């Protein structure tokens, strides 16, 4: 059986980085315990964006703008990103990072509750990256389906919860049981609904990669 920690370390050793500016954003964020995408997942995200060549990208969960800038590095000329963030202290940091990266004209940050904002968006988007409050994914799903174009990709991060997802709800800390139950419901729904073809991939903290095939 493979040693997953050693495999992950080896994958990290292959990482060529994302440029001095983005690498510093990630380093500063991790030092400040700001949740940003894991190294191996970051490369996978960029690979998927480069493969899909989307024209319109939606990100739910900006944090400090790191993931949006990673996608911007590989998206086609003319592609735009709309990203949503609720936590006020991170918003000016993200805006400053977009400005410094010269991406303010291609990345639009919407401030506020994602559930409310999603209902107001028109779309369509051909790539949606979900990296926000995991317990809300299942509640946002109807709007995500509406906003995603046929053939579009939904990339949902952190769906395996550091392995807790496989545990009984009684083995999970009481304060995490709601998120645990909702994430399991989200994954079951994604993998069984006719609108999507979904693969759950054990990379980083788990990615659900879904392609909209109908609806």
pLDDT score of 57: 98
Phi and psi torsions of 93, nearest 5°: -65, -45
Which fold would CATH assign to domain 4-212?
Answer: Rossmann fold (3.40.50)
Given a cut of 80, whether residue 83 has pLDDT beyond it is yes
DSSP string, 125-165: EEEEEE-S-GGGHHHHHHHHHHHEEEEEEEEEE--SGGGGG
Tens-digit pLDDT profile for residues 145-201? 999 999 999 999 988 866 566 556 655 666 666 667 788 889 999 999 999 999 999
Burial of 201 (0-12, 13-18, 19+ CB in 10 A): middle
E strand spans, the chain? 56-60, 80-85, 107-111, 125-130, 148-157, 196-201, 207-212
């Amino acid at each position: 059986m493979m040693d997953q920690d050693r495999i992950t370390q080896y994958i990290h050793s292959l990482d060529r980085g994302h440029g001095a500016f983005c690498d510093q954003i990630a380093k500063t964020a991790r030092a400040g315990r700001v949740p940003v995408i894991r190294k191996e997942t970051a490369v996978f995200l960029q690979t998927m964006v480069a493969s899909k060549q989307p024209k319109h990208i939606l990100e739910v969960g900006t944090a400090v703008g790191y993931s949006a800038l990673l996608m911007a590095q590989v998206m086609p000329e003319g592609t735009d990103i709309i990203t949503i963030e609720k936590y006020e202290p991170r918003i000016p940091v993200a805006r400053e990072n977009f400005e410094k990266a010269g991406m303010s004209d291609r990345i639009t940050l919407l401030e506020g509750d994602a559930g409310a904002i999603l209902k107001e968006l028109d779309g369509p988007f051909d790539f949606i990256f979900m990296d926000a409050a995991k317990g809300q994914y299942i509640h946002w799903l109807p709007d995500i389906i509406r906003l995603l174009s046929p053939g579009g990709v939904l990339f949902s991060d952190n769906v395996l919860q550091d392995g807790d997802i496989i545990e009984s709800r009684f083995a999970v800390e009481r304060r995490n049981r709601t998120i645990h139950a909702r994430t399991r419901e989200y994954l079951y729904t994604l993998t069984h609904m006719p609108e999507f073809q979904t693969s759950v991939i054990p990379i980083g903290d788990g990615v659900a990669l879904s392609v909209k095939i109908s609806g």
